[in-house]
Chain A
Amino acid sequence: MVHLLTLLLVFMIIGAILALTTKDLLSAVIAVGAVGFGCSVVFLLLKAPDVAITQIVVEVLTLVILIRATVGRREVTASGTRDRPGMAAVAALVLLFLVFGVMAMQGQPAFDFGTPVMARVERTPSAFFLANGLRKTGAANIVSSVLLDFRGYDTLGEATVLFTAIIGAVAVLRQRGRRSTASQEKGDAS
Chain B
Amino acid sequence: MNGLSVIVKTVTRWVAGFIFLYGLYIMAYGHLTPGGGFAGGVILACAFVLWLMAYGRKGSEQLLPYRAAANLDSVGALAFWALAILGLAAGGEFFLNVIQQRSPGQALHLFSAGIIPLCNIAIALKVCASLVVVTLLLAVLRVAVNGTDEQFKSEEAES
Interface residues, chain A, with chain B CB atoms under 8 Å away: 49-50, 52-54, 57-58, 60-61, 64-65, 68-69, 72-73, 134, 137-141, 143-145, 147-149, 152-153, 155-156, 159-160, 162-163, 166, 169-170, 172-175, 178-179, 182, 185
Number of interface residues of B (CB under 8 A): 60
CB distance from B40 to the nearest CB of A (A): 9
Contacts of A54 in B (CB 8 A): 36, 38-39, 42
Residue pairs across A and B with Cβ atoms less than 8 A apart, 6 shown, are: A53-B26, A137-B113, A138-B107, A148-B31, A160-B77, A169-B137
A175–B43 alpha-carbon span in the complex (Å): 28
Q: How many angstroms from the CA of A90 to the CA of B100 in the assembled complex? A: 50
Q: With contacts A144-B30, A159-B126, A170-B133 known, is A178 near B142, CB below 8 A?
A: no
Binding site for A on B (CB under 8 A): 26, 30-39, 42-43, 45-46, 49, 53, 70, 73, 77, 80-81, 84, 94-95, 97, 100, 104-105, 107-108, 112-116, 119-120, 123, 126-127, 130-131, 133-135, 137-139, 141-146, 148, 151-152, 155-156
CB atoms of A175 and B151 under 8 A apart: yes
A65 and B35 contacting across the interface, CB-CB below 8 Å: no
In angstroms, Cα B113 to Cα A164, docked, is 29
**Residue contact B116 to A144, C-beta cutoff 8 Å:** yes
Query: Would A141 and B32 be within 8 Å (CB), given that A57-B43, A61-B49, A169-B137 are in contact?
Result: yes
Which B residues lie within 8 Å of A159 (CB)? 77, 80, 123, 126
Complex contacts, A170 vs chain B, CB 8 Å: 70, 133, 137
CA of A53 to CA of B80, assembled, Å = 22
With both beta carbons as reference points, the residue of chain B lying nearest to A57 in the complex is identified as B42
Question: Residue among B141, B146, B148 with the most chain A CB within 10 A?
Answer: B148
